[in-house]
Chain A
Amino acid sequence: MSKEKFPEFVELIKSKGKLFGPVKQKEKYSFEEIKDFSELDFDYQRTIISPKKFITPAKYSTLRFVKFGQTEVLPDDEPQIVMGVHPCDIHAIKILDRLFLGNIKDPYYAKRRENLIIIGHSCLPDDKCVCQSTGTDMVEDGFDLFLTELDDFYLLWVGSDKGLGIAIEAENLLEENVSEEEIQEYVRWQQERSSMFTTSIPSYKYLADIIHLNYDSDVWEQFGEKCLSCGTCSLVCPTCNCFHVDDKIMMNAEEGIRERMLDSCTLPYYSMVAGNHDFRPDRTARLKLYYTHKLKEYIGRWGQPSCVGCGRCIAYCPVDINVITVSNALFEEVCETQEVCDQ
């Protein structure tokens, strides 16, 4: 598709439902509702909150009750389309899908997910992107459409029936045949992009073992001392999905809602059970849970860690506790204790 036709293409997509896309707001980017093509800004690295906000919103009700009765609150049927989603965030949605749409389906997630159309967009890395290490820098499925932006044109990938439907409708905007030159340009771009990554997670392949070996390391203590328990890491992480549930009664004391809100395992009462027994009373234990669950335990469960290398923890933790600093520190610890650095 040539670039001149892109605005028209966006118009077409907009007719399918509520359109969201990356919008620049001061120094930050955020997925916002798009009224006009000009609001879109695809030249971005990362939004603060990932597109998980469309499928596991920060806060929503699951139940509404009145004096004598209750009804389950399911999300609206209105289709939502999100454009400009990077490969890492698509991988993250695939991870969330596995969790929420496995044997036991979460009805609220399922409904939102069903109504979400994902249109991916190619990106170029900055110094915080580590998706090459995590193997999530490219994506082959999990989207409906994916646009790779090259100098003069877009390459369009179709990833689902829904995506195909849109592509068919947009037939007159798309060029049917991709020329050999265009493919060559794509390959060149791909190689150039691969060489642009400046940051990597050391020994990512062995990270699970490194974490296991360092379970009792002082490194955790040091991070625990720094951690503010502010929960930012969990809320910005595109794969963090823990939630807290609370019932709220309205002022008339005769009706209310059951509300689900995003939670973080770094918060003080996260693992507290009835009788105020807390399994993880200190910051160190909670932070250790965050990183072991994400980088080690997920592998045992799903065959892959739940880090997609989006760089959000690197960009947004106020005290620099992130997948890079943690894995670096643990890696160094292994080097010190086991002298395997050179190998």
Chain B
Amino acid sequence: MTASKDKEEISTYKTQPAEILAIRDLTDDTRYFKLRCKDITMNKDFQYRPGQFVIFSLPGVGEATFSLSSTPTRRDFIEFGIRKVGSFTEALFKLKKGDTIDIRGPYGDGFEMEDLRGRDLIIVSGGLGAVPLRSVLLYIEDRREEYNKVFFLNGARSPKDMLYKRDFIAMNQRQIIDTHLAVDEDDTGEWPYNVGFVTQLIPKLGELIDSENTTAIICGPPIMYKFVIQELLKLNIPKDQILMTLERRMKCGQGHCGHCAVGGRYTCLEGPVFTYYDVQHIKELI
């Protein structure tokens, strides 16, 4: 997952129009977007892996990068979870069902799901980190027999801040994946699951997994990585089996604009998925 693949030559910034099939609120400031390429044949060509991202273009507004939140195992549409945080998303949130967004991509080096076959998986997300990891989770649900034990730990500030709460509660009930949902603080008093940080849930997994045969996948706010990685290392999970996705400013998605450089790597080409082993010596990582 480290070296960038020899990708076929993509030589253009050409976008393709995609129609918004559905929009719904995930939290106060985060929305779910479901898109489909207008050119039906393009949907078939739109091959991607969990962890990859797409660049949206709204001429007049600009471009911005968003992680894919859907799984490639379910074709004909792609999904996103997007938080309103800046000028682009401010505009994006004004769009309605049936409107068109120009998209290009997918970009980045995602998770190699095939390589993880037969392994135990610990998937840890916090806040917006649930967006790209939802893609991983749905992929696993669809091909559950290919993987060994799968644990999903998801943290949010409070019940109302949890993205895909509905999806994840359903996932918990389906029990295809061992799902643990946690909130830092339960202001409703009615949260039926864990209260506290996701990091506190990790030690309990120690007895359940075969650490040599375990891969951890992390995505969350910058502060989360340090603590989660510490806990995972305590479980003796190999450093090269801790996968994490990083967020950086990006303009081009093609390794040209320079903004996403971290250490000697371009997040948009070799990332956003990195192993902890690869990046542990990069000083300004998180």
Contact = CB atoms under 8 A, between A and B. Distances in A.
**A contacts B directly (C-beta below 8 A):** yes
Interface of A: 62-63, 65, 70, 72, 99-100, 102-107, 109-110, 215-216, 241-247, 249, 256, 258, 263, 265, 270-277, 279-280, 285, 288-289, 293, 296-298, 300-301
B9 A300 contact: no
Given A270-B259, A273-B249, A301-B264, A104 B284 contact: no
Interface string B79-116: 00001011011000000000000100000000000000
B59 to A, nearest CB: 4
A258 B256 contact: no
Nearest to B262: A279
Interface of B: 6-7, 9-14, 59-64, 83, 85-86, 88-89, 102, 222, 247-249, 251-252, 254-259, 261-265, 283-284
B280 to A, nearest CB: 14
A256 B257 CA distance: 22
Given A271-B259, A277-B222, A72 B13 contact: yes
A104 B9 contact: yes
Nearest to B285: A279
Contacts of A298: 264
A243 B249 CA distance: 12
A242 B259 contact: yes
A270 B86 CA distance: 15
A104 B222 contact: no
A337 B254 CA distance: 40
Given A65-B60, A104-B256, A263-B257, 8 more contacts: A104-B255, A106-B252, A106-B254, A243-B251, A243-B258, A247-B62, A293-B261, A297-B263
A249 B258 contact: no
Given A272-B249, A274-B85, A297-B264, A246 B256 contact: no
A109 B10 CA distance: 14
B11 A105 contact: yes
Contacts of B283: 215-216
Nearest to A288: B284
B11 A110 contact: yes
A216 B262 CA distance: 16
Nearest to B221: A277
B258 A265 contact: yes
27 contacts: A63-B13, A99-B255, A103-B7, A104-B9, A104-B11, A106-B11, A106-B252, A106-B256, A107-B11, A242-B257, A242-B259, A243-B256, A245-B252, A245-B257, A247-B61, A258-B63, A263-B258, A263-B259, A265-B261, A271-B249, A274-B85, A274-B89, A275-B85, A279-B262, A297-B261, A298-B264, A300-B264
A285 B83 contact: no
A276 B249 CA distance: 10
Given A271-B248, A271-B249, A277-B222, A241 B7 contact: no
A296 B258 contact: no
Contacts of B222: 277
A244 B264 contact: no
Given A65-B60, A107-B12, A247-B62, A242 B248 contact: no
